[in-house]
Amino acid sequence: MLDSSLTTRQKLTLIIEGMEKAGSIMTISSVAKEASISNASIHNRYPDLAERIRNSAGVMKEKDARTKLTKRLGTIKEEKAKQSRLRKELDEVKELLQKANSVNAAFQIENGSLSALNRKYLEELNRRKGGIVKI
């Protein structure tokens, strides 16, 4: 609680300085509430302090905006690095898929020729035994 022997201007100045040191965003309303006076009193009786409060609030908002921008830029860099890693991984997976498709095609060809050979052997076996053999 502030000393009651201080003038209202002195109280307001102390409150403003305290809020600036604390790095809190201040408004005329918050300063007036802390000093137990009306917003209008600050506007009408202490226009210089009202301007100081508005300027300080603007500086704090600007600092906050810079901080947010810095965080966003950091996030963007992280996401770009992540995107680069994922694209590389995707290229590797595509290469593996292409190799698998190539091996699969070779197996399909081999399977076709083995199926034809199997049919040929079954026909020969059926001809020799005189009956139908199924596998």
Own/partner contacts of 35-40, CB < 8 Å, gap of 24 or more, are: 35/2, 35/8, 35/11, 37/8
Residue 97 CA to residue 112 CA, distance in Å, equals 22
Looking at residue 64, what is its pLDDT? 72
User: 84-121, pLDDT tens digit by residue?
Assistant: 999 999 999 999 999 999 999 999 999 999 999 999 98
Residue 20 CA to residue 22 CA, distance in Å, equals 5
Looking at residue 123, what is its pLDDT? 87
Which is nearest to 99 in space by CA: 91, 111, 88? 91
User: 37-83, pLDDT tens digit by residue?
Assistant: 999 999 999 999 999 988 887 766 667 777 788 888 889 999 999 99
Residue 26's SS3 state is coil
Domain borders along the chain are 8-129
